[in-house]
Chain A
């Protein structure tokens, strides 16, 4: 065995209680990091999942009609009414088919779904509700906003005259699968649709307002035959949305909204969570490093005579240094392996405490293998860094002084 490693392990074994104490410290620290990171990651992904469950990553549309000034005021004039109201009629994105095909091959884009969307009214008997009409091609809609799996009653089907509505709207209007309701735009007559399925997207507002229709019906209702108002885009990397949106906006001259900007509050919240998680990790790292460092410094002082005799026997400074670096690394390794096990156990325990009726965890804890690998590697590095100072002290001991004073 390598002499310095051999000595390091013997020294650790010799200082049994100190070694155990500091390894438990490292274990607790790593466990906190593993558990907390997993908890935050789980929380974040369920928040993001819930948000993105009913939103496209990027939505492309025409600039919303701005109020346009009628005339500039001249000297001494005051203009009381500066603008005409924007036209209520929706306009279609020009040559959206070509644009959709082009978007599909943009790197990072996973799926594209052109839709016609606008306000409307759903009526059943004397009941009516303001709704959002969302008309698209069934398969494309589902690839951008996974709806098929969220159908809780009936089927995911958008044949001619079929509609999908949320469970909330179904309740409000008192309709079920197979019933007929009437949908009409803000102005103008409506059409009758048979409810093919009810979906639950986990969002009350969406469940009460969305009416999903075949593209052609939506176009007719919104009086834009052959047109679409939006192109929805799903990306491979959800956090790349800002960059992709900017690129699309620049190259098309259209407006491209990224979900990250649309949900700025959420993003601020997530970032705050990440920051506090990182801060806790930082404190853990500092505490662990100080613990390892102080134990090793004490050990250097206690062993100065032995170190002196090793040096007298021909041990180089570098070898003495490595003896202590190994100890730091070994403490980091041992502690973090135990800590990973403990952190994993805590995560599982936490999940089992807050389980949904169907057995799935209410608060999923996300602990991928990379988290454990990173914790162990990080901990070994922290151990090495913490050992650097004691190791230097040991290497720089004057053997004469060390032997005389020991």
Chain B
């Protein structure tokens, strides 16, 4: 039986900002292959290029050199519109700040990735948003607005939003960075559970050693290079 394609593959990814003497190289030849269903923690000191890497993987930014596959698609030749479409189909995002739309209820916020792809806010999208909230055991928040929720609740809603379109890969940049230890534990626990239950691949940037130890694999980035890459026992 042929090996299934990995969810994600990076080959010699470089990224530099600026031109001429002001040019800085942020990523140096990053190689990384993530099989389907893995939960990868990305660690490293501040400024080491973790967010840059995640944005490139998330098709929000383009690498200066190297190749990037999302599933079977090699992305370097895709147009902006194709990258946007692929993002909507295959990727989910959780950021340090929840970025929920304050004007919308939790259910509407979670439904947005479906609604922007379909061009319509449908009942089906709202139903699926409720289902995603239920998965995170926060269905009761469906009709609340972000201003009526706690920080942990907001971040759970943001996780539900990342999952609603059933992406193959969820990218989370310090998703618990703004939460206290206990809440952070709970939110991470949800992601771990969803990863196992739905076999969704996760790449999670974190500074928290304890959380990293609960992942399948830890990649450490230093000065834009992969310093270490180990499986967690």
| Chain A residues at the B interface, C-beta cutoff of 8 Å | 1-4, 6-7, 10-11, 13-14, 305-306, 308-317, 319, 399-400, 403-404, 406
Contact = CB atoms under 8 A, between A and B. Distances in A.
B101 interface: yes
Nearest to A312: B93
B104 interface: yes
A13 B103 contact: yes
27 contacts: A2-B119, A2-B120, A3-B118, A3-B121, A6-B121, A11-B103, A13-B103, A308-B99, A309-B93, A309-B99, A310-B101, A311-B60, A312-B58, A312-B60, A313-B88, A313-B113, A313-B116, A314-B84, A314-B88, A314-B116, A314-B117, A315-B84, A315-B88, A315-B112, A316-B116, A319-B116, A406-B97
B60 A400 contact: yes
B103 A310 contact: no
A314 B102 contact: no
Contacts of B97: 305, 403, 406
A146 to B, nearest CB: 60
A314 B113 contact: yes
A317 B84 CA distance: 9
B153 interface: no
Contacts of B119: 2-4, 319
Contacts of A13: 103
A3 B116 contact: yes
B85 interface: yes
A309 B51 CA distance: 15
Contact of B95 (A2, A309, A311): A309
B1 interface: no
Nearest to B164: A313
Contacts of B89: 314
A314 B99 contact: no
A10 to B, nearest CB: 4
B9 interface: no
Contacts of A14: 102-103
Interface size class of B (residues with CB under 8 A): 20 to 34
A1 B116 CA distance: 11
B136 interface: no
B33 to A, nearest CB: 23
Q: Across chains A and B, which 10 residue pairs bring their CB atoms closest together, nearest first?
A: A314-B88, A14-B103, A313-B113, A315-B116, A10-B103, A309-B99, A3-B115, A312-B93, A6-B121, A400-B60
A228 B41 CA distance: 106
Contact of A312 (B81, B87, B117): B87
Given A311-B84, A313-B161, A314-B165, A6 B93 contact: no
A400 B93 CA distance: 12
Given A1-B121, A14-B102, A310 B60 contact: no
Interface in B53-108: 55, 58, 60-61, 80-81, 84-85, 87-89, 91, 93, 95, 97, 99, 101-104, 108
A81 B230 CA distance: 123
A313 B112 contact: yes
A306 B119 CA distance: 17
B174 to A, nearest CB: 12
- Name the residue among B89, B112, B119 with the largest chain A CB count within 10 angstroms: B112
Given A2-B120, A3-B121, A312-B58, A306 B101 contact: yes
Contact of A306 (B55, B81, B84, B99): B99
Nearest to A6: B121
Contacts of B87: 312-314
A1 B99 contact: no
A317 B82 CA distance: 12
A316 B121 contact: no
Contacts of B88: 313-315
Contacts of B61: 400
Nearest to A319: B116
B101 A1 contact: no
Contact of A314 (B80, B85, B95, B120): B85
A324 B142 CA distance: 26
Contacts of B101: 7, 10, 306, 310
A314 B112 CA distance: 9
A311 B60 CA distance: 9
Contacts of A10: 101, 103-104, 108
Nearest to B59: A312
A308 B93 CA distance: 11
A311 B55 CA distance: 13
Contacts of A319: 116, 119
Contacts of B103: 10-11, 13-14
A316 B161 contact: no
Given A314-B84, A400-B60, 5 more contacts: A1-B120, A2-B120, A6-B121, A309-B99, A313-B116
A307 B190 CA distance: 26
B16 to A, nearest CB: 15
B32 to A, nearest CB: 19
Nearest to B51: A404
Contacts of B81: 316
A316 B84 contact: yes
A312 B85 CA distance: 10
